[in-house]
Amino acid sequence: MTSQPKPLPKFDNEAQERAFWETHNSSDFVDWTAAKKVSLRNLKPTTKTISLRLPQHLLDDIKTAANSRDVPYQSLIKVWLQEKLHTL
């Protein structure tokens, strides 16, 4: 970047900031050549608890499959859902 970055405007709330960044390029406001790489090793994605009604026989089959793999059945369901999403 050859010129000084523009000063960032002040935002009253997150919605204003979001609207601003939807129409502006960060390279006009940040000198990315001075950026440093960081490692966030302990960062875990947030999770949301949901309620899912399954037929008992399906849940039993999932638990059997999870037991044969020696993993918790809820973890196996998450893996299967993620795999399915990647094949769409």
Q: Which domain holds residue 67?
A: 56-87
Residue 66: which of 83, 54, 78 has the closest Cα? 78
Tokens 């369901």, located at residue: 77
Q: Is residue 14 part of a domain?
A: no
φ/ψ bin of 70: left (φ > 0), alpha (ψ from -120 to 50), beta (otherwise): left
Q: Is residue 82 part of a domain?
A: yes
Q: What is the pLDDT of residues 34-57, one digit of tens each?
A: 889 988 888 888 888 999 999 999
Q: Is residue 21 part of a domain?
A: no
Q: Is residue 18 part of a domain?
A: no
Q: How far is CA 85 from the centre of its chain?
A: 14
Q: Is residue 38 part of a domain?
A: no
Q: Is residue 11 part of a domain?
A: no
Distance CA 8, CA 58 (A): 54
Q: What is the pLDDT of residues 69-84, one digit of tens each?
A: 999 999 999 999 999 9
